[in-house]
Amino acid sequence: IDRTGLVRVNWVLNTLGILALGGSLLLIGWRNASWLATCAWMSRAVPGPYASPDEITSFSGTYALAAAAVVLWCALLRGRQKSLQSGLLGAGSLILVLAAELLRQPIGGTAAAALLTLAVVHLPLRDISRRRKLLTAAVSIVALCLFLFAGRGVVAMRYWTFGIAPSPIASSHGISHNLFIGLGAVPNKWGIKWSDEFAIAMVKAKDPSIRYGSPDYYRAIFRIYLRTVLTDPQEALRIYWQKLRLSLVATLPGLVEWSGWAGAILLYMGCLAGGFRFACHSSGRSESGGRGSAFLGLTLLQGGFLMQGTLAAPWGGYLYPANWMWVVLGLLLAAQAADYARVRAREREPGKLAH
């Protein structure tokens, strides 16, 4: 496949991801918001930040797949479906998590973490059978295993299918490498640089026999990272705080310019608080259909996505899908607030009649 073909592949991935997200929002009951969100994201995100054969162009679609997995998961958590429907929702959610993880491991991992968090938070609140709770917990564990072992499983299948000898190089990009060079994404007292060559040189200085990309390399660079951070934890916290602010600037430039980075943090905390309130209020209510949980899940997913910029590099090329998720969250917040107000009004009506 040539470069033009890769551009088309990225466009197809983006389109499929955005349609999956729109369909999941429609399934859970956000009719108007689903169409608006799909059109808003589709209008700019399909070609990515620019037409390119690079994988970065497909991050919009991958992030949308992860978001769709979270929404389907919340539709499962409401616990009011028949067994077949629950099985389809659970399978669909896990397939989307697997797809996101194989396309972009950090995004798939963020989705798996959001699914597990939602299960822990909401299962005690749900008025469903113990059997259903155990089933949901089991599916949550499967989601975590998919994140941890999917990449290795695909590589192992390739070795077996084509008779290829296993490679000594790790099958996935170790997080320890990015944690270390991530300290160099902003100026720092240690002189660390955001550079593969810099990290390789640090490891080679300790043991020249260690090969880049091998399990020994990732263990060695993680030890160097820990030693570096522990020499001055205050400097490490300063670096991460600065990268969090830069991540917010990259994804909410207009708001940060108007209100400062504190306004962006308050916006996220407001979405998180609203998500918890909506989720707890809609617990067990069939008319809410898990939408409160879905809003909370997407807010958690957005926070996890922004953590990539905080821990690694706070650059728009990695974080640009978060711009469109802010738009989706805004649309869903308006829809969920209206739904919440209607439910509260109905709850107060009997009291008014009694008086």
Note the pLDDT tens digit of each residue in 63-116: 999 999 999 988 877 666 666 777 788 788 888 988 998 888 889 889 988 888
Which ranges of the chain have pLDDT less than 70? 1, 44-51, 78-83, 122-133, 135-136, 143-144, 146-148, 150-151, 167-173, 259, 279-289, 343, 347, 349-355
Beta carbons of 67 and 21 less than 8 angstroms apart: yes
How high is the pLDDT of residue 178?
92
How high is the pLDDT of residue 351?
54
Chain mean position to CA 42: 19
Beta carbons of 212 and 200 less than 8 angstroms apart: yes
How high is the pLDDT of residue 355?
47
How high is the pLDDT of residue 299?
92
What CA–CA distance (Å, rounded) separates 130 from 299?
Answer: 28
Closest CA to 246 of 325, 195, 307: 307
How many other C-beta atoms lie within 10 A of the C-beta of residue 343? 16
How high is the pLDDT of residue 293?
83
How high is the pLDDT of residue 171?
59
User: Read out DSSP for 21-70?
Assistant: HHHHHHHHT-HHHHHHHHHHHHHHHTT-SS--SSGGGGHHHHHHHHHHHH
